[in-house]
Each structure stands twice: as C-alpha cells, then as structure tokens.
Chain A
Amino acid sequence: MKAYINGKELAFEPNETILDVARKNGVYIPTLCELHDIDHAPGTCRVCLVEVQQGDSTEPQYVTACDTPMADGLKVQTRTPQVMEMRRLQMEMTMADHHQDCASCPRVGNCELLPVANSVGLKQVRFHYTQGWEDLEPDHGKQPIVYDRSRCIRCQRCVAVCRKVQNVDALEMTGWGSTAGVRLKGGSVDASPCITCGQCVMVCPTGALAERDQTDEVLNFLADPEITTVFQMAPAVRVGFGEEFGMPTGTNVEGQIIAALRKIGADIILDTNFAADVVIMEEGTELLGHLKEKKRPTFTSCCPAWINFAEKHYPEILPMLSSTRSPQAVLGSLAKTYLAEKRNIDPKKMRVVSIMPCTAKKEEAARPVLGKNGVPDVDVVLTVREFARLLRREGIDLKEIQPSAYDDPHMSEYTGAGAIFGTTGGVMEAAARTLYYVINGKELEHVEISQLRGFDNVRTANINLGGEFGEIKVALCHGLKGTRDIVEAVKAGKVDFDFIEVMACPGGCVDGGGTLRSKKAYIPLAMKRRETLFNVDRQTKARQSHNNTQVQKLYADYLEAPYSHKSHDLLHTEYCSRPFGVPADMEQAWHELHEQGGDK
C-alpha cells in the first residue's frame, strides 16, 4: 500500500499509523505523550496534528498522527500553515493548565514539554487555568516518589510502564477535567501494589513525578561541625552520572565524585562496592548452606524494590530469599559499628548518606530492622538526580574537577566482583567467582562467565561450581514482568533453580529508578553503562570478593567469619508479608461519579 507524506510517495504496512510511517521515513512530527520504547501512544496530548486528504476529496481534515491509521492513497501534509497554527494552539492549551513555575520544578530545564512547545513555535499563552491544582497541598509525606499533579500532562506513561513493563499495576487514573491525574491505587504506597521501583519517574516527561528531594537534609549534615558525614556510592552511580555534566555516556566518574564529595565537605567517603564484596561473602556462604541442604531456590536480596515485590505480591516465597542485607544496608551497618570503632567516632554523631541509582533505597533505609535503637544505619539516601542537584547547589561542575581516590583504609577497597553488582547478572557472576574458590580451593580460570552476560529480561544458565555441587541451575531476571513469571513458575514447581538473581529495574541498577532521566526514550543508555562496569571489573587488582584485603581484614579483626553470630546480627535481616488493598468503596465511587458532569 502507498500513501503520500508531503508529496512523497511512501509504502506502508496495514495498521501502521501516520506517525509510524512518518518516523520510518524520517519525517518529523512533534509528539509529547507518546513513548515508542514502551509501545505507548495514548493520544492525549493531541499535538501531532497533520493535514490529510483522501483521494481528491476537497476538504482537508486535521487528525492526530499517532492514532490515525495510514490509508491507501492518503495525502498527508505535516507543515501547512493551518497545521502549524493548530499545533501551536494545542501547546498553548497544554501550557494553560500546566504549573509553569519552572524554577520550582524538580525537572527544571530538562523536561520534554518545553522543547515541544518550542518546536511548534509557541509564542504566548493567552489564558491560564490553575483551579485544577492551585489548592493542592504540597506532598510532605515520606514516600520516596512524589507526584505533583500541577505538572502532570496526563500522558499516562507512568501508568503504562507500571502495567506493561513492570506488571505491578500500582497506578490508577483519577479525577476529571482539570483535576485529572494519576494516583497510587488505594491512595498510598502501603495500600497499593507499588514497590517504589521508580520506573514511573523514569518515563515522566515533566516534573510531575520525582524523587522526594532530600538534598537539604544532606546540606544540613555537612554544615553541622558536630557531625561526621559518611558517604557511599553504589556500583552503578559512577557510570551513570557524567552525562549530567556533559560527559560522554558511560564515562566512569568515580574519581570526580570522590573529589566532589571532598570539596563539599564529606568527612569519610566509602564505596558501596566494598559492601557488595561483603555481601558475596555472606550470601555465598548462605547459598552454600542451602545447596548442601538441597533447599532451593535461593533468591538474591540486594534489590529493595524486589524485596518489596516479594513481601507484597509473593509473601509465600519470603523463606526463599537470602537473609543477607543489601550492600547499602551492609555498609551502613558496618559504618556505625566497625568503622566507628576503628576510627574512634561516636556513631551517634555519624550520618551515613548513600548515593543510589534507586528510589526504593530510600524506603529500604527507613526499614526499622535496618537500624539500631531506632536510629537508621543509613540516614539519607540521595538518588543520582538529587546528588546532581546537591553538587549544583554547591557550585560544582563535575567536568571541571580533578579526579581523586579513596583514602579510607577500612571500607573503600573493592574488587571487580563488587563493581559488577550494578548490572543484571553481576551479582550472580560475583557469587560464582567466590563460590568456586570456596568449593575448589582455587580460583575460577575464566572469571567473566559469558553465559550470565546476556541482556534478556529472563535468562537461565548452568554454572559448574565443581566439587560436590557440580553444575547448578541459575536464573537471572531484570524487570518485574519477567520476575513475576519466574516466581509463578517456582511456585508452581515448574522450574528447578538453585539460585535466582533479581533486579527490579529493567537493565539493573545502571538504569534504576533513581538514575538520570532520558527524554523520549526508555533506558537508552543501558548497554554503554554496563560496558563501563565490565571495564571497571577488568581494571581492578582483584576480581573476586574474597580477595578484597579490606574485607579479609574486616573478618579477621571484627566479624570472625562469614555467617558468624556477629555477621548475623549486623549483616542479615528478615522479611515480612505486607498485604495491600482496600475494600471496594461504593460511596466513594458514587461521590466521584456525581461530582463529574450532571445527574443521569
């Protein structure tokens, strides 16, 4: 079949939209709500207007390209004066009830709205409709993700990613007319299936969804002379931060981050990679025990959104989860005990700040079991986006700063095994390297285990651990849609895995819900960031967690052995079922129904 765009004859397939055909042929049509990477075209912004004429019919029609099927012989014009005028009016209306106080927006200067407004040539907004949001109370809650309806353009990408990509389905459409927006089902994280993975934030085109900003809290710690600030950065942070300051995708900026932290006054700078190595010692030992008992499978426990998912959606599998705390929690716990002792710091005066590619880590840090005497081990978690904000507030341009290196002698060394924790398959590979050594008394010859390095959302492999265990069956999941399938299969007894690694965010931590946002794309930088992590691994002196000299010292001086009584107290945790949901409230439904429109 053939049609014409701007006079050029083009072939197309049945059921392709005008937008599909235009994109395929490199013809630009402005879009706003649509997000091709997650197959989302809700047709709500109505900005992708084009003129169409069927055959020689006289009157041209104006239709939206995203939801109008291309038709045989259709003549499409993408830039007639009328089309441009209509797109301009559409954006004017979009801006009319948008909260245009850009200075206070978490996405200032970086949203998708302004470039589209620009591209349609918007010159003025003659009217404003603020009644939909002017009375909104600011969200002062503790939830790691904040929704501001005044910035919402009703594109529903968040709803789509939560449903289609994660299969969590925590969001619902709410309100009508100018109050239309989204909210968590049941109104809160606890009442909804939400696991705070933050994928909704990653696809939001504006600042409507954002992490709860805690940079102020960190600045207050830094300003307090009584307080010793301890910073940690997650494995994935260093490879997904340079872009913010104009550096190429995947640049390793570990040295620059260390230097920047020093500059803003951080007292102690540690690396979560160190804790990842500790996790391997603990989790590896735990897994070996399970293998001996033929207790299978064991699920990893590093990912807090995955833990939320298991606790809320599959409480029956909680006994299968490794009890080892996540690297962030391990570091926090050790900082306020081991490190405090070694460096003679009063842990009460110590504040641990994490820089994480993750929104769920904020919730994890607040878990009562991950603290002592009501004081959390990790005091504040900053997402990568907040960390960028923190540096800007301190006037730091990462690109201009000279890289530095760690100087803490206790908890900053890391191996290649800890480094690859940030990408899917990394935890499994790190564990395999150490397990092999523990079982066989010698190092694995090829440490890069290629069968674990695919990128499909669900992968399975066999690893030969040698010795009494031989081959074990493992599965690796990133993204919760595939994870749900694997968990269902485990529950049904259809699969027989020994060890299952789960990362809730598609792509793993390098594309976590707390990383830098992309525009009009969903996790487009995954592979480059991942490659850099693999390179970090290749460049480390030691590539196995058990060869981390600071880890060895930790066990020798303090913990005695992996899975010891002391480790158990400090480095392991427990989980609990968290049922969610609310009763069906007809009164509420009727109230809402009669609020909208007239009586029927």
Chain B
Amino acid sequence: MANLIYGVWDGKVHDYRQTQAGEQEALVAGLEGFAPDNATKAFIADRGFLIFDRDTNLVEAFSQYMAQAAKESCGRCTPCRVGTQRMRDLLAAYANGTAREACLNDLAVLAEQTTSSSLCGLGQSCAKSLGDALKHFRDEFKAGAGTAEQHSFVYTTAPCVEACPSKIDVPKYIDGVKGGKFDYALGVVMDKYSMAASCGRVCVRLCEAACRRTQAEGSAVGIRMLKRYAADQALLNNRLHLKKSLVQHKQRVAVIGAGPAGITCAYKLLQAGIQVDVYDMHKASGGMASVGIPSYRLPKDVLKAETEDLIREQGGNFFYEQKLGRDFTVDDLFAKGYDAVFLGYGAHKGSLLGVKNEDPSLDGYDSGVDFLLKVHKHVEYGEPFEVKGDVVVVGGGNVAMDCVRSAKRMGAKSVHLIYRRTIDDMPADHEEIVASEHEGIIFHCLTNPSSLVVENGKVVGVELLEMRQTEKDAKGRRNVEAVPGSEHVLKCDLVIAAIGQVVEQDTLKAEEGIERDRWHCITVNPDTLETSRKGVFAGGDCVLGPLTLVNALDHGERAAYAIRDYLLDGSAHITPQRRMQNLLAKNKLFSGECLQTQPVRKERARVPELDAIERIKTFDEVDGVISKEVAYEEATRCLRCYRLYSVVTEKSLKPGQKTSTIAG
C-alpha cells in the first residue's frame, strides 16, 4: 500500500494503476505511518485526493467526506447548505446501488457549482477533489460498491485554527460574534480553556499571522479583539458562572502552578468530573500572566475572574504560597493520595546578561521577571517599591517592553531600552513597541551592554558597545557584531536584564525520576505530555522554556485529556485529531495556497486606547473594548477558510469504536 496508486494533487493527475510507480517523493509526507498498525488507504483534502490501496471504495470515501461537509455547513449560503447534502445523498445512493450512473453527471455539476459559488472556504474547498476525481477517474466510481469495511476520519480546520497552539475554532467564534451570539462565541473559546478574556487581551495572535484576509487585502481579521469582545460581554457583566460537573469521579489530581497551563489543566479536569487541587507559590492565581504581565495590559480582576473564580465554581481548591521543591515534593503528593500530578510551574528565573561585573545581588540590578514581580506586588498589595532616576532595560521581547512601560509608570525619570539588533528584529509585538515609543521610552538599537559600572555595591551605569549588521549569511540572515572602540557609558540608577527566563533547577530533585533536559526543561511526550514518571504530566513554560500564554493553554488542555484517559482508561493516547494536526504541520498544507475569491475591501477595526500622556500615570488598562457595531463589522471580514481533511484507514482510528464513519 505504501505507494500512491492514483489521485490528483494540486491539479496534477497521478495514475499508476497500470504501471508500477517508481521511487517517488511522497506528496504528503507521513501518511504511511499516520497511525500505528493501521494502513492508510486514502487521503482526501481540498487540494486533491490520493489513493494508496487498490481496494479503496472511492464512492464511500467521498460520501463520508461530503457527509462531514454537510454537517459542518453553517447553512447560510445556498450551494453549501443544499449542495453538500445533495452530493452526500447522491454518493450514498450510488454506493448502495439505488442511483444510476447518470447521477455522476449531476454530481460533477454540483461539485463545480459548490466550488465556484459558495460564500466561504468550506463550500469553496469541500467539493474540489470530488470534482477532480469525477473528471479524471470516473471509472473508479463503482455503482453499488456497497460499504466495505473502511474508515474515514474527517478533520475540519482552517489556517488560523492550525496556527493556534490551542487549535481554537476561530471562524466559529467569529460566526458567533457575527450572528449576535456572543455567549456562543465565548463558548467556542471556553471549550478549550477558561482564560478567554485574558487571551483576548495579551495573546501573541499566531492566528492573525496566518489569516488569509492579509493576503487578500493586507490586514488580518481582528481575531483577538473579537475574542475579547465576546468574553467581556459575559465576564464584565457577571453573566458567566459555571456549574460543577454532574459526573464526579473519585480520582484526585494535584496541579502544580496556577498559571495558564495549570489553570487550563484544572479547568478541563474539573469538567471531566475529576477532583483537582491547585498549588502555587504566589498568593493569587495566574502565574506569569499575573506576576509577569502588568495590569495595564491585563487587569487582575479579569484574570482572577477566569482563573481562580471559575476553578472554584467548578469545585477546584487552591493552596497558595506552596512551592514545589521548597515546601513539598512530587513524592509527597503521591503520598497524600493524588492519583496523578500535573507540573506547570513555569520558568521564573531571569537570565543573566553575561557581562562584566554582573551580580544579581547588586543594588540597582534586577532581572526582568523580578522587576515585574516587585511592580506587581507594589501595585496589587501595596508592598513598598520605588523606581527613581534613570532606568536601563536590556532586551527586545515582550518582557522588556513590559519592563520599560512599567518603569515609566512607576515614576522613572527616563527609561532606556537597549537592544543588540535593529528595531525590526525585536521579537516583541509590534503594538508593544509602538506603545512604548509613544510613552517616551528611549530606544537604543544596535547597542549591547559590555559591563556594569558599579560603585559601592550599587549599579550606577552600563557600559555599552555599538553594534553593526554583518553581511547576509548563506541563509540570507544578517548577524550583528560589535564596533571596536565604541564603548561608552550610560549612567543609570537601575539596570534590568530582560533578555529571557529559564526554568529553575531545584524545583525537582533528581531522585524524583522526572527526566529533564540540559536547560532543566521537563522532557515530555509531545503528544500526551507524559513525563518519564508514571502519573506525572507536565506542560507550559517548565516544558517549553519561556513561551507564550496560548502555548501554555494548549498544554494544559491536552494534559487534562491525557490525565483523564490515564485515570479512567488506564493510558493516555494520541487522538486522531492530534495525528492530523501533526500531519498538516509537517507538510505545511496551508502554506502557498492561493485565494479563490477576491473579497470586497474592508478596513480592519482599530482598538481604542488611552492617550499616552494619561496612561503613563497609572496602571489602568490601556486598550479599550471595541463597540458592538465595530465587532459586527470586523466579524464580517472573516473569510471562513475551512478545509476538510480525511484519512481513510483500514481500522478505526478511535479506540473502542467499531464502525467509524464520520468523526464525531
């Protein structure tokens, strides 16, 4: 079965039914071993279809594919709503012998019409490969072929969905906003994680980077602002309350870390009826989202409402100011009777700059995370903390931006940002960079610290070197190098090293049997998030190193499913959805495709924000919420680029499922 027998891909016909195919590079890599001990017979996608097994029942395979399309059709536009149903029924009738061959002509016409005239990506893409098959391999459509044992797993997704680590069904929640169903929109997000309003404020928006509206007219759909809009409608009006799961299992799970990963894991476990206790070293939930993201970007009440409050409503418990490695060990947790443990303790240790005279104990020296923690404790709990004089922040990421903007708000006389590359190279969000500039932060790009100037145990300045870009290397990338003799001193009262964080080493002991890599990140199975110790799962920054909020949310959710399966079924397993996501990512199946239609141009909405002169006086939230009218308009910009991917296998992909026809 390993070789392609026939198919069409990107319009190119492949036919090896008569001749043996020679050595060929797979059009879609990884199909062969899609699932262990389960042969892949066929693959159907928007760009074409590939048949690997001569016995594949093509009619049945397309019938199942189209059944899923009909089930997914939102029903707004005619050709998709009715066309998919009609195609599904004609295929089924043809398969069971009640329709004559002439119906293949009708099918071809319907496939063409649905493809060329549907409103969104779902209709435009779901009948393309059927059309190709009917055009080039009509003889393979065998009337009355019956329903031989073969299994389709059909997966529906879109570029924005696959770009999101959490695989949030973005077009669907935009549908919710567009249709005036804000709670439904929120429900789509909260099906994955509880932190919708937080994510709607600070997410790095990989979805927007993948949005095809950008290709069409230059600016992505304001996906994040719509998520925030939907979440705020329920959350800020106190309309959102969750009930305890009706099913209550006896199994208990300890979640270590009340950050995005831990909260999400707890949230999903509680929904599955599994008892959860959350431990955290701080005295509030949110983890890095709380102590690391200043409240002018993410207000603490918003964070509390959708972390601690929602977890408690569902029956979860919190144990604050309890630190793993200091107050207890993983062994202690199992000894206490927990059936599984989720580790989501994050990466809270600031990286050193690696310059002369650097010593974290120096007066006037802070790491980015330590500085932000002090700011947080000052703003939130009134703990004394003063920032005076001139502040120098080193780094170009979002943490560096949080540091400069917080320093400004804390009353620094001047705030300088030192970054070794150019402003275009900064990994921070563009909006953050612009906002910092508006707030009067002085940027020193192509500049690097070489030494701290220390007097009487106190930092009084930073020695800086000017950098210059080198010629492009083989990969077309420019590096930077120091300009010899360019040393100069920038006087300052506080230097903040915001170049990154690392995972703390002593949170876990070697004898606890949890494998880690040389950066002290916990080693996990990337699909099930199991660690090397049975019953222990891990996710978020303590696995990934400092990454994004939404990556942590994804880990928390997937770990919860794996823990549920481990506790209730005996072992964690890889879902077919995950297999498909891996396949799509590996083959970059969403890249390089062209737009079918040219949409009418519509400007992206702007999020209202506080004026820079006003906002630097407080830690009040800078971004405002868009109006309902703007939300409706913005939602109409979504092109709903849904695609269906189907893998036909010999055996069902879902454990315990006898005859899988459609996923669901």
Which residues of A come within 8 Å of B, CB atoms? Answer: 15, 17, 42-47, 49, 61-64, 67-69, 71, 86, 89-90, 93-94, 96-97, 127, 129, 132, 154, 156, 159, 163, 169, 171-180, 185, 581, 583-590, 592-593, 596-600
Q: Are A154 and B75 in contact (CB under 8 A)?
A: yes
Q: Are A129 and B82 in contact (CB under 8 A)?
A: yes
Q: B244-282 toward A: CB 8 Å interface, digit per residue (1/0)? A: 000000000000000000000000000000000000000
Q: B650-664 toward A: CB 8 Å interface, digit per residue (1/0)? A: 000000000000111
Q: Are B72 and A43 in contact (CB under 8 A)?
A: no
Q: Which residues of B contact A61 (CB under 8 A)?
A: 116
Q: Which residues of A contact B83 (CB under 8 A)?
A: 93
Say if the beta carbon of B184 comes within 8 Å of chain A: yes
Quick one: which of B73, B154, B190 contacts A176, CB cutoff 8 A?
B73
Interface stretch, picked from B444-452, B544-552, B593-601, is B593-601
Say if the beta carbon of B234 comes within 8 Å of chain A: yes
Given contacts A15-B600, A586-B186, contact A43 B77 (CB under 8 A): yes
A-B contacts, 19 listed (Cβ < 8 Å): A15-B600, A43-B119, A46-B79, A61-B116, A86-B117, A89-B109, A90-B79, A154-B81, A172-B179, A172-B180, A174-B179, A174-B181, A175-B75, A176-B75, A179-B75, A589-B186, A589-B187, A590-B191, A597-B156
Q: Which residues of A contact B178 (CB under 8 A)?
A: 173
- Complex-state Cα separation, A585 to B187, whole angstroms: 8
- Complex-state Cα separation, A588 to B167, whole angstroms: 21
Q: Are B72 and A584 in contact (CB under 8 A)?
A: no
Say if the beta carbon of B74 comes within 8 Å of chain A: yes
Q: Which residues of B contact A64 (CB under 8 A)?
A: 117
Say if the beta carbon of B86 comes within 8 Å of chain A: yes
Given contacts A584-B234, A600-B156, contact A93 B601 (CB under 8 A): no
Minimum CB distance partner of B601 in chain A: A15
Q: Which residues of A contact B240 (CB under 8 A)?
A: 583-584, 586
Q: Are B180 and A159 in contact (CB under 8 A)?
A: yes
Q: Which residues of A contact B477 (CB under 8 A)?
A: none
Q: Which residues of A contact B73 (CB under 8 A)?
A: 176-177
Given contacts A69-B600, A163-B632, A169-B628, contact A599 B663 (CB under 8 A): yes
Q: Which residues of B contact A17 (CB under 8 A)?
A: 600
Q: Are B78 and A180 in contact (CB under 8 A)?
A: no
Counted as pairs of residues, one from A and one from B, with CB atoms less than 8 Å apart, the total is: 177
Q: Which residues of B contact A47 (CB under 8 A)?
A: 78
Say if the beta carbon of B85 comes within 8 Å of chain A: yes
Q: How far is the CB of A416 from chain B (nearest CB, A)?
A: 40
Q: How far is the CB of B124 from chain A (nearest CB, A)?
A: 11
Q: Are B78 and A44 in contact (CB under 8 A)?
A: yes
Q: B156-183 toward A: CB 8 Å interface, digit per residue (1/0)? A: 1100010000010100100100111101
Q: Which residues of A contact B109 (CB under 8 A)?
A: 89
Say if the beta carbon of B336 comes within 8 Å of chain A: no
Q: Are B81 and A178 in contact (CB under 8 A)?
A: yes
- Complex-state Cα separation, A338 to B629, whole angstroms: 50
- Complex-state Cα separation, A593 to B664, whole angstroms: 12
Give the number of chain B interface residues (Cβ < 8 Å). Answer: 63
Say if the beta carbon of B585 comes within 8 Å of chain A: no
- Complex-state Cα separation, A123 to B656, whole angstroms: 50
Quick one: which of A44, A89, A171 contacts B113, CB cutoff 8 A?
A89
- Complex-state Cα separation, A446 to B599, whole angstroms: 55
- Complex-state Cα separation, A593 to B176, whole angstroms: 10
Q: Which residues of B contact A581 (CB under 8 A)?
A: 239
- Complex-state Cα separation, A600 to B167, whole angstroms: 8
Q: How far is the CB of B338 from chain A (nearest CB, A)?
A: 27
Minimum CB distance partner of A186 in chain B: B183
Q: Are B72 and A597 in contact (CB under 8 A)?
A: yes
Minimum CB distance partner of A71 in chain B: B598
Q: Which residues of A contact B183 (CB under 8 A)?
A: 584-586, 588-589
Q: Are B78 and A90 in contact (CB under 8 A)?
A: yes
Say if the beta carbon of B242 comes within 8 Å of chain A: yes
Q: Are A62 and B81 in contact (CB under 8 A)?
A: no
Say if the beta carbon of B518 comes within 8 Å of chain A: no
Say if the beta carbon of B155 comes within 8 Å of chain A: yes
- Residue in A93, A173, A176, A597 whose Cβ sees the most chain B Cβ within 10 Å: A597
Q: How far is the CB of A187 from chain B (nearest CB, A)?
A: 12
- Complex-state Cα separation, A598 to B75, whole angstroms: 16
Q: Are B190 and A93 in contact (CB under 8 A)?
A: no
Q: Which residues of B contact A86 (CB under 8 A)?
A: 113, 116-117
Q: Are A593 and B191 in contact (CB under 8 A)?
A: yes
- Residue in B73, B161, B601 whose Cβ sees the most chain A Cβ within 10 Å: B73
Say if the beta carbon of B531 comes within 8 Å of chain A: no
Say if the beta carbon of B70 comes within 8 Å of chain A: yes
Minimum CB distance partner of A63 in chain B: B597
Given contacts A17-B600, A67-B599, contact A46 B117 (CB under 8 A): yes
Pairs A-B, 4 closest by C-beta atoms: A589-B187, A180-B75, A173-B179, A598-B663
Known: A43-B119, A90-B117, A600-B161. 8 other contacts (CB 8 A): A15-B601, A89-B113, A94-B78, A154-B77, A169-B628, A177-B73, A177-B75, A588-B184
Q: Which residues of B contact A583 (CB under 8 A)?
A: 239-241
- Complex-state Cα separation, A586 to B235, whole angstroms: 12
Q: Are B119 and A46 in contact (CB under 8 A)?
A: yes
Given contacts A586-B242, A599-B577, contact A173 B155 (CB under 8 A): no
Q: Which residues of A contact B180 (CB under 8 A)?
A: 159, 163, 169, 171-173, 185
- Complex-state Cα separation, A154 to B181, whole angstroms: 16
Q: How far is the CB of B260 from chain A (nearest CB, A)?
A: 19
Q: How far is the CB of A329 from chain B (nearest CB, A)?
A: 33
Say if the beta carbon of B326 comes within 8 Å of chain A: no
Quick one: which of B70, B82, B175 contacts A96, CB cutoff 8 A?
B82
Q: Which residues of B contact A592 (CB under 8 A)?
A: 184, 187
Q: Are B72 and A93 in contact (CB under 8 A)?
A: no
- Complex-state Cα separation, A480 to B154, whole angstroms: 47
Minimum CB distance partner of A20 in chain B: B600
Minimum CB distance partner of B116 in chain A: A62
- Complex-state Cα separation, A64 to B80, whole angstroms: 14
Q: How far is the CB of B600 from chain A (nearest CB, A)?
A: 5
Q: How far is the CB of A55 from chain B (nearest CB, A)?
A: 14
Q: How far is the CB of B218 from chain A (nearest CB, A)?
A: 14
- Residue in B89, B119, B190, B600 whose Cβ sees the most chain A Cβ within 10 Å: B600
- Residue in B184, B234, B664 whose Cβ sees the most chain A Cβ within 10 Å: B184
Q: How far is the CB of A137 from chain B (nearest CB, A)?
A: 20
Minimum CB distance partner of A66 in chain B: B600
Q: Are B68 and A598 in contact (CB under 8 A)?
A: yes
Q: How far is the CB of B264 from chain A (nearest CB, A)?
A: 15
Quick one: which of B71, B82, B156, B597 contacts A93, CB cutoff 8 A?
B82
- Complex-state Cα separation, A17 to B601, whole angstroms: 10
- Complex-state Cα separation, A585 to B597, whole angstroms: 36
Q: Are B85 and A44 in contact (CB under 8 A)?
A: no
Q: Which residues of A contact B155 (CB under 8 A)?
A: 598
Q: Are A177 and B70 in contact (CB under 8 A)?
A: yes
Q: Which residues of B contact A593 (CB under 8 A)?
A: 169, 172, 184, 187-188, 191
- Complex-state Cα separation, A96 to B86, whole angstroms: 10
Say if the beta carbon of B118 comes within 8 Å of chain A: yes
Say if the beta carbon of B76 comes within 8 Å of chain A: yes
- Complex-state Cα separation, A587 to B86, whole angstroms: 32
Q: Are B664 and A599 in contact (CB under 8 A)?
A: yes
Q: Which residues of B contact A154 (CB under 8 A)?
A: 75-77, 81
Q: How far is the CB of A374 from chain B (nearest CB, A)?
A: 36
- Complex-state Cα separation, A230 to B485, whole angstroms: 103
Given contacts A45-B78, A178-B85, A598-B662, contact A584 B186 (CB under 8 A): yes
- Complex-state Cα separation, A406 to B335, whole angstroms: 94
Q: Which residues of A contact B116 (CB under 8 A)?
A: 61-63, 86
Q: Which residues of B contact A71 (CB under 8 A)?
A: 598
Q: How far is the CB of A579 from chain B (nearest CB, A)?
A: 12
- Complex-state Cα separation, A545 to B192, whole angstroms: 65
Minimum CB distance partner of B230 in chain A: A584
Q: Which residues of A contact B188 (CB under 8 A)?
A: 589, 593
- Complex-state Cα separation, A86 to B115, whole angstroms: 12
Q: Are B86 and A596 in contact (CB under 8 A)?
A: no
Minimum CB distance partner of B217 in chain A: A69
